[in-house]
Amino acid sequence: MAMQELPKKDFFAPLKAWKFLGKRPVTIEVPNKVKREASDRYRGFHINDWSKCIGCGTCSKICPTDAITMVEVPGLVRDHGKLPQRPVIDYGRCSFCALCVDICTTGSLQMTREYIHVSDDAEDYVYMPTEKGLNAKRGLYEHGKAPLGWIKDENSDILDLVRVKMPMEEPEVRVKSFIEIVKGYSKEQAQQEAARCVGCGICTYTCPEHMDIPQYIESIYKGDLEEGLRWLYRTNPLSMVCGRVCTHRCESSCSVGVRGEPVAIRWLKRYIIDNVPFEEYDRILNIRPEKKGKSVGIIGSGPAGLSAAYFLSTMGYDVTIYEANARPGGVMRYGIPRYRLPDEALDKDIAFIEALGVKILVNTKVGQEIGFDEIAKKHDAVFISTGFGLGRSTRVPGTDHPNVKQALPMLKMIRDYLRGDGPKPPVPRKLIVIGGGNVAMDISRSMARLQTMEYGEVNVHTLSLERSFEEMPADMDEIEEALEEGVEFHPGWGPIEIVIEDDEVKGARFKKCLRVFDENHRFNPQFDENNQIFIEADMVIEAIGQAPDYSYLPQELQEKLEFVRGRIKTNEYNQTAIEWLFAGGDIVHGPDIIHGVADGYAAAKGIDMYLSKK
Amino acid sequence: MGEVKLFFGPNHPGMHGNFSVHMYVEGDVVKRARPLPGFLHRGFEKLMERRYWYSNIALIPRICVPEPDINEACYAMGVEKIAKLEVPERAQWIRMIVLELARIANHLMAVGGIGGPIGLYTAPQWGTADRDRILDIFEALSGARVYHMYIVIGGVRKNLTPRIEDMIWKTMDYIESRLPDYENLIFKNRILHSRLKGRLILTREQALEMGVTGVGLRATGVEYDVRKVDPYLFYDKVDFEVPTATDGDAFSRVYLKFKEIPQSIKIIRQALEKMPQGDKVNVPVSKGSALRRIVPKGMAYVHIESARGEYGFFVVSDGKNKPYRVAVRGASYPQGLYGIEKYLPGTRIEDVPIWLATMDVCAPEIDR
C-alpha cells in the first residue's frame, strides 16, 4: 500500500485547518449545565426491593470481587422461604459487572443509571441497597427512585429455571400395573439437577426435620455419594422413603423456585440412596455407639417410631419396637400405594435400622398380645407413635352399607394382596371416591389400576368439597397424574346420600358446595340444595380423613394426658404430661412422613435428656 | 560524556500506562534500555482459577484496558471450543461488530496517542473525541463504556436492539466522514513526517524473530492477520482487506492502523446487513446456575486478531466449575519486552515513546 507522502510545500496548506475554527467544542460541561443521562442498560449503583428479596445470598456467591456481604438485619424474621439477611455492597470493590443482578433468584436486586456518588465519608461507599437507591436522600429523582438501568432478560439470566425432567412411566403403561412410576435420575441427570442449586439453605429451615439439603446436593454435584449418604443419615434414617413420597415442603421454599421450577430436592435425595449399595452403609456411616444400658420401648413402627428408634440406637440405647401388623413400616407399608413406594425401598431403610440392633416385634398389638403396663415396666421410657388408623365417615344415609368402604383398610388390603399376604380386594366396575386429599388420590389411582387389570377400563369418579384443584389438599402432581390415568374429578360437590336399591349400591347423590371454610377459616361448608347430581357406582369409598385410636392406653394414663383436637399435647422434645412417656407422628403433629421423622428426632433428644438426668 | 540512567515511566506523560523503561543514555542517544514491567501485575491468570467460569468476565477485560473485548471474546471462544458449544449465529455477528468497534476505538486512540510524544496536539483531541462516540455505542449496548463485560461464554449478554443498530450505522457514517480530515491534518502534517518517517525501523526478519504480530509485522510487508489466515466468527463471510506496507518504520505502523479503520467500518456494515434476526443470543454451557456450570475436561488455544496483533487464550478445564488454567498471549509482549531491550539502543531519547506508541505496548497484557 502506498504510504502517505509529505505534500509539497504549499502557501495555502494552513488554510485547510481553518474550517475547524467555527466548530462547537465536543466536551460537555458537568454538573449543572448539562446533565448527561446514562444509557438504558447502564450498570450503575444497585437498588434492592426488600419486599421481594429473600436473603438467599446468591448475589454474594457469584460476585467476582467479593464486594457483596450478607448482613443480618435486626427486625427481619426467618420465615418460610426467607432469610433475615440482606446484601451489603462495598463500592470500593464492586466492578459493576451486574452478575449479581443476572443471577438474583427473585429479581429484587437491580441496577440503576446512577453513576455519581460524592461523599467525604469512606463508610458511605459501603451500602445496603434499598428500593430507592444510593442517593435517594439527596432528592435527585423524579419519583424518589433512581431510574432503572441494567435489567436482566432471558439472555443475560444465569440462573437455571428449568428442572431436569424426571423419567416416568407413561400413563397408559403405568395404569396397567402397580409398577413404580418414577424411574429415578441417572448420574448425569442428578448432577445436572444438583448444579441448579444455589446452596442458599432456605430449604433447611422449611424442612420439618431441618435436613442438610444444600450439603447433600453439593455432594451429588461433586459426585461424592458417600458424603451425601452421611449428610442424609445425620438427620433422616428414612431417606429412601422421603426421597420418594415426601411432601417436599423444602421445594416450596426453594429460592430457585421463586422465578422458575424449584430444585428437585426430593428426587436428588432418592438418587443418593438408590445408588449407594446397602452393603456399604455400615462402612460409610460407621455408627459405633457406646451402650448406655438403658432401654426404650416404641409402640408403632411408622415414620416417627422408626426415626426415634434410629436416633436412640445411635446414642446407645436398646430399642424395642412393638408393631401390630405383620410387617414394620406403618402407613409407609400399608397406606401408600406400591406404585409410589415399593416394598424394597422401605425394606432398605428398615434393614439399616435393624442392623443397628433395634428389635422390631411384629404381630404384637399392644392391648391384645401385650399390655401397655408390661411395656412401661420393661423399659426406662416409652415412645408412642401409633398414627391415625381409623377412617372417618361422612355419615350420610347409606354409609353403613357393606359396599361403602373406608380408604385406609382398602389400601391395606390392596397392598397385602399385591405382596401375596392377603385375598384379592373387591374391584367394582364403577367407583365413587369421596375426598380431595392425598389418601383419596391414592385409593382412586389404586382402584383405577385394579379396574384396568380386571376390566381393561377405568371408571373412578372422585368428588371433593373443595371447588378447585388448587383448593384441594392433595399434591398437584398427584392430581395431574390421576387425571392422566383416567380418574374423573368433580371438585365442589358434597354427598347427600348413597343410593341403595335392592340392597345394592347404585350410586350417590351430591349437592353443589358453595364454600368450604367460613370467614374465620373454620371448616363450615355451605351447599346449594337445588343444584344436585347423581353419579352411578357399585362401590363408594370414603377418604375424608383419619382419626387416632388410643384404646391401647390404660384409662388412668389417658386421663393424665392432654389432648388438643384429638392430638396429644407435648413439649418441644415430644414429652407428654407423663414424663417417661413421649409421643410423635400423626398423633402429635402430622400430617406427613417428614413431620414424623422430625418428631422421632426430637423425641430421641428428649428421651436422652430425660434418661441422662434419671 | 558519561552514561546517565533515566527513568521513563511509570509516572510520565509520554508513557502508555503503568510501565517503565530504564534508559542508559549518553547525550541524547540511548545506549541500553531495560523494560520494567510488573506495576500492573495482579495475577489475572491465577485469579481466574479461583473464580467461576462465568464470574471471570469481570476480571478478563482488565487484561487490556483500551481494547477489552478481545479478552472476553478469546476466553469465551476458548471455553466454547472445549465444550463444543453451538453459539447462536446472531451472537457471533454481534461479537464481530463489537470486536471491530473496539478495533476502531483502539486505532483512534493510537492515532491520538502518537500526538503526545511528537507534539502534534490535534491528534489526541480528535482521536479521543471520536473514540468517545464508539464508547457511547458500547454504553448503550453493554451498559458500560470501558469494561464492557459483554461477550460471555455462550454468546453475548444482551441482544442488539434496532435503536443501537441505528446508532452504529450513524456513528460509522460519522467516523467515515472524519477520515479525510485525519488524512489532511494529521497524516500530511510535516511534524508527523519528520518525526516518524524512517525512524525505528523493524525489519521483517527482526519482527519474525521476536514474534511481533499485528501492524508491527504487516508494516514489513508480511500479510499476517488472524482474521484472514485462520478466520474465526464470520470473518470468512465478509469482504475486507488487510493493508500492508513495506517500510517497517514508525510512520507505516501508525498509518496502517489508520487505514484499518475504513476496513473495520466495512466489516461492521456488512455484519449489520448479514446478521440474522432473532431474540436468542446466549446459550448456557451446561445445565445449572452460573455457580455450578461446568466445562468438560479439555484444553483449547484460541487466537484472534487484536488491534495490536495476535491475541491468544489458552484455556484448560478439568471438568469443574472453575478453570484449571488460563494463559494469555498478550499481543504486545514481544515488542514491549524484547523489542525495547534489543532495538531501542542506538535510538534517541525522544524515539522511545514513539516505539511504545506505534508498537501499541499495552502494559497490563504484558503483566497480566
Best mutation target, A45, A93, A155, to test chain B (most B CBs within 10 A): A155
Residue A138's contacts (CB-CB under 8 Å, 6 or more residues apart) are none
pLDDT at A502: 87
Kindly indicate the confidence band of residue B236, based on its pLDDT and cuts at 50, 70 and 90: very high
Stretch among A20-24, A298-302, A500-504, B203-207 having the lowest mean pLDDT: A20-24
pLDDT at B39: 86
Shortest Cα distance, chain A CAs vs residue B120, angstroms: 14
Listed by number, the residues of chain B in 179-208 with a beta carbon closer than 8 Å to a beta carbon of chain A are: 181, 183-185, 187-188, 190, 193, 197
pLDDT at A566: 84
Stretch among A21-35, A213-227, B156-170 having the lowest mean pLDDT: A21-35
Which domains does chain B possess? Answer: 4-367 (1.10.645.10)
pLDDT at B230: 92
Our separate counts of H helices and E strands in chain A read 20, 22
Asked if the C-beta of B247 comes within 8 angstroms of chain A's C-beta atoms, the answer is: yes
Instruction: Determine the CATH number of domain A293-389+551-613.
Output: 3.50.50.60
| A196 contact residues in B (CB cutoff 8 A) | 287-289, 292
pLDDT at B25: 92
Say whether B190 and A155 touch across the interface (CB within 8 A): no
Listed by number, the residues of chain B in 276-295 with a beta carbon closer than 8 Å to a beta carbon of chain A are: 279-282, 284, 286-294
Nearest to B336 by CA among B10, B20, B111: B20
d(CA A182, CA B311): 51
Nearest to B264 by CA among B358, B140, B168, B138: B168
d(CA B130, CA B126): 6
Give percent above pLDDT 90 in chain A: 57
Say whether B144 and A6 touch across the interface (CB within 8 A): no
Best mutation target, A16, A110, A158, A217, to test chain B (most B CBs within 10 A): A158
Chain A: residue nearest B184 by CA? A16
CA dihedral A530, A531, A536, A542 (to 10 degrees): -100
pLDDT above 80 (res A337)? yes
| A62 contact residues in B (CB cutoff 8 A) | 52, 54-55, 290-291
Reported as a single tens digit per residue, the pLDDT across A441-458 is 999 999 999 999 989 899
The topology under which CATH files domain A46-138 is Alpha-Beta Plaits (3.30.70)
Instruction: Determine the CATH number of domain A171-284.
Output: 1.10.1060.10
> Per the structure block, which three cell numbers stand in for A508?
350417590
Reported as a single tens digit per residue, the pLDDT across B45-58 is 999 999 999 999 98
Asked if the C-beta of B129 comes within 8 angstroms of chain A's C-beta atoms, the answer is: yes
| B193 contact residues in A (CB cutoff 8 A) | 6
First to last CA, chain B: 39
pLDDT above 70 (res A32)? no
Count of alpha carbons within 13 Å of A219, Cβ hemisphere only? 21
Q: Write out the residue limits of the CATH 3.30.70.3270 domain(s) in chain A.
A: 46-138
Say whether A158 and B289 touch across the interface (CB within 8 A): yes
- B87: enclosing H helix or E strand: none
d(CA A572, CA A191): 37
> Per the structure block, which three cell numbers stand in for B63?
487484561
pLDDT at B188: 86
pLDDT above 70 (res A138)? no
Reported as a single tens digit per residue, the pLDDT across A88-135 is 999 989 999 999 999 999 999 999 988 888 888 888 889 898 888 887
Could you say which DSSP state residue A366 is in?
A: B
Per CATH, domain A390-546 is 3.50.50.60: yes
Say whether A159 and B289 touch across the interface (CB within 8 A): yes
- DSSP string covering A526-545: EEEEEEEEEEE-SEEEE-S-
Between vectors from CA A71 to CA A222 and to CA A215, what angle results, nearest 5°? 20
Reduced to 3 states (helix: H, G, I; strand: E, B; else coil), residue A581 is strand
Asked if the C-beta of A194 comes within 8 angstroms of chain B's C-beta atoms, the answer is: yes
Contact A436, A466 (CB under 8 A): yes
| B111 contact residues in A (CB cutoff 8 A) | none
Contact A182, A130 (CB under 8 A): no
> Mean of the pLDDT values across residues A460-469?
90
Reported as a single tens digit per residue, the pLDDT across A548-557 is 888 888 888 8
> Mean of the pLDDT values across residues A370-389?
91
pLDDT at A159: 92
Shortest Cα distance, chain B CAs vs residue A216, angstroms: 15
Neighbours of A403 (CB within 10 A): 17
pLDDT at A139: 62
pLDDT above 60 (res B282)? yes
ipTM of the complex: 0.90
pLDDT at A20: 81
pLDDT above 70 (res A236)? yes
d(CA A213, CA A216): 5
Q: Which position has the higher pLDDT, B76 or B198?
A: B76
Reported as a single tens digit per residue, the pLDDT across B311-323 is 999 999 999 999 9
Asked if the C-beta of B177 comes within 8 angstroms of chain A's C-beta atoms, the answer is: no
Listed by number, the residues of chain A in 29-68 with a beta carbon closer than 8 Å to a beta carbon of chain B are: 38-43, 58, 61-65
Contact B358, B196 (CB under 8 A): yes
Chain B: residue nearest A18 by CA? B185
pLDDT at A143: 65
Give percent above pLDDT 70 in chain B: 100
- DSSP string covering B222-256: ----HHHHS--TTGGGS-------SS-SHHHHHHH
Contact A69, A92 (CB under 8 A): no
Say whether A99 and B141 touch across the interface (CB within 8 A): no
Nearest to A1 among B132, B190, B243 (CB): B243
Count of alpha carbons within 13 Å of A116, Cβ hemisphere only? 9
* Alpha-helical runs (H) found in A318-475: 331-334, 343-355, 372-378, 407-418, 438-455
Contact A409, A549 (CB under 8 A): no
pLDDT at B299: 94
Burial of A608 (0-12, 13-18, 19+ CB in 10 A): buried
| A164 contact residues in B (CB cutoff 8 A) | 287
**Single-letter amino acid code for the residue at A115:** Y
Give percent above pLDDT 70 in chain A: 96
Q: Write out the residue limits of the CATH 1.10.1060.10 domain(s) in chain A.
A: 171-284
Contact A600, A594 (CB under 8 A): no
- Kindly provide the b/e burial profile for residues A423-451, where b requires at least 16 CB atoms within 10 angstroms of the residue's own CB: eebebbebbbbbbbbbbbbbbbbbbbbbb
Say whether B287 and A102 touch across the interface (CB within 8 A): no
Say whether A155 and B292 touch across the interface (CB within 8 A): no
Shortest Cα distance, chain B CAs vs residue A283, angstroms: 28
Say whether B289 and A6 touch across the interface (CB within 8 A): no
A501 forms bridges with which residues in the sheet?
A: A504
d(CA A545, CA A439): 8
Q: Write out the residue limits of the CATH 3.50.50.60 domain(s) in chain A.
A: 293-389+551-613, 390-546
Torsions phi, psi for B7 (to 5 deg) = -100, 125
Reported as a single tens digit per residue, the pLDDT across A389-440 is 888 888 888 888 888 999 998 999 999 998 888 899 999 999 999 998 889 9
Best mutation target, B62, B131, B287, to test chain A (most A CBs within 10 A): B287
> Mean of the pLDDT values across residues B210-236?
91
| A7 contact residues in B (CB cutoff 8 A) | 188
Burial of A178 (0-12, 13-18, 19+ CB in 10 A): buried
Shortest Cα distance, chain B CAs vs residue A195, angstroms: 4
**How many CB pairs lie under 8 A apart between chains A and B?**
134
> Per the structure block, which three cell numbers stand in for B149?
463485560
> Mean of the pLDDT values across residues B241-259?
91
pLDDT above 80 (res A485)? yes
Residue A494's contacts (CB-CB under 8 Å, 6 or more residues apart) are A465, A510, A511, A512, A513, A525, A527
Chain A: residue nearest B136 by CA? A39
Strands of the B325-329 sheet, one edge to the other:
B298-306, B309-317, B325-329
Asked if the C-beta of B142 comes within 8 angstroms of chain A's C-beta atoms, the answer is: yes
User: What distances in angstroms separate CA A1 from CA A160, B100, B204, B251, one per listed residue?
Assistant: 52, 21, 16, 13
pLDDT above 70 (res A501)? yes
Say whether B255 and A3 touch across the interface (CB within 8 A): yes
d(CA A384, CA A302): 10
pLDDT above 90 (res A1)? no
Neighbours of A524 (CB within 10 A): 11
- DSSP string covering B290-311: TTT----SEEEEEEEEETTEEE
pLDDT at A187: 93
Contact B105, B62 (CB under 8 A): no
Nearest to A62 among B149, B255, B291 (CB): B291
> Mean of the pLDDT values across residues A154-182?
90
pLDDT at B362: 83
pLDDT above 90 (res B360)? no
Q: Angle at which helices A225-235 and A265-275 pack, to 10 degrees? A: 110
Say whether B255 and A99 touch across the interface (CB within 8 A): no
Chain A: residue nearest B252 by CA? A3
Kindly indicate the confidence band of residue A31, based on its pLDDT and cuts at 50, 70 and 90: low
| A64 contact residues in B (CB cutoff 8 A) | 51-52, 55-59
User: What distances in angstroms separate CA B208 from CA A272, B335, B336, one per listed residue?
Assistant: 58, 11, 15
> Mean of the pLDDT values across residues B131-141?
93
Our separate counts of H helices and E strands in chain B read 14, 8
Reported as a single tens digit per residue, the pLDDT across B82-128 is 999 999 999 999 999 999 999 999 999 988 888 888 888 888 888 99
First to last CA, chain A: 100
| A149 contact residues in B (CB cutoff 8 A) | 143
pLDDT at B247: 87
Kindly indicate the confidence band of residue A297, based on its pLDDT and cuts at 50, 70 and 90: very high
Asked if the C-beta of A597 comes within 8 angstroms of chain B's C-beta atoms, the answer is: no
pLDDT at A515: 86
Reduced to 3 states (helix: H, G, I; strand: E, B; else coil), residue A611 is helix
Nearest to A61 among B139, B183, B291 (CB): B291
Asked if the C-beta of A28 comes within 8 angstroms of chain B's C-beta atoms, the answer is: no
Between vectors from CA B25 to CA B23 and to CA B26, what angle results, nearest 5°? 175
